Chain A
Amino acid sequence: MNVNHNTEKDRLNFWEKLYLPEIARGLGLTLRQMFKKPMTRQYPEERWEPTGSYRGRPVLVLEEDGERCVACSLCSRVCPALAIEVQAAETTREKERYPVKFEINMLRCIYCGFCEEVCPEEAIVMSKDYELVFTNQEDAIMGKDKLLIPIAQLQDRLEFLRRFK
């Protein structure tokens, strides 16, 4: 009969079949790791700071005289996951259009960065924020209150975009 054999009996030699030497070898490996530098981090106390190239949650740039966004809705158009909703309105400022509503559904967002790439005003950028926790679906929809971030906190990303975009 044409049968392939691959039982323990075929694979293991005499010492391996005894098990005890192998247990000792395994314990030794574990013991050696205890004297090496750990690979993990104490997360909530120790946090990793991403570099400018990191794509965290998208945020809106807030300058001293208000938001940069002119509500052109190109981010909303290009978003492959349809995460962004923009409602424009008129203002008396020089750029006569502003977003009266700007919402990103973080459950839909896939962090692709297309919105940042298409933005003609460099008003939406990917931040370093990767800590996103919600307890219900409605909380995951972020409005302007959560999206507007002062420009000082976004310098790394803006510098990255200037160099590599």
Chain B
Amino acid sequence: MSEMQEDTNTERPQFSADALKQVDEIFSRYPKERRASALMPVLHLAQSEFGGWLSRQTLDYVAEVVGVAPIRCYEVATFYTMYNLKPVGKYHVQVCTNISCWLCDSETIVSSLEEKLQAKVGSTTSDNRFTLSAVECLGACINAPMMQVNDDYFENLTADRVAEIIDRLP
């Protein structure tokens, strides 16, 4: 389990008008008296709105928006691996290393990324452009090895293709 981290920026987080509209749409998916169910989707939204991670301040804000106790929000945010509790780079590169990808040599993919990005697994590049993670099965096993960069899957990888994909990122 990860620990929560304070944001050095002390300004109170605030969803944009557009994001608040999305929050309303999220609430509409659940019965009125079951608003707590909106916690996970609102956390996803907050993560994309506030720089790719959830600070302790953001978690307090989300709890307030959804109408649950902050502790409930902390519990959920620390339970699920997709909620980043510390800052990540502009691109979060997640390489699957579970069984099917491992059999198809995901180790080479990881090492070529470490070399390409000059960053070890679990770290962020000094320019904050990339965070490299080794993750569990992402469910694209028939196209192993694969990785996810932010929201997109890249499958049937080779060391060369990985370098190409990284170079092409804007």
Q: Report whether chain A binds chain B.
A: no
Give chain A's interface residues, CB within 8 Å of chain B: none
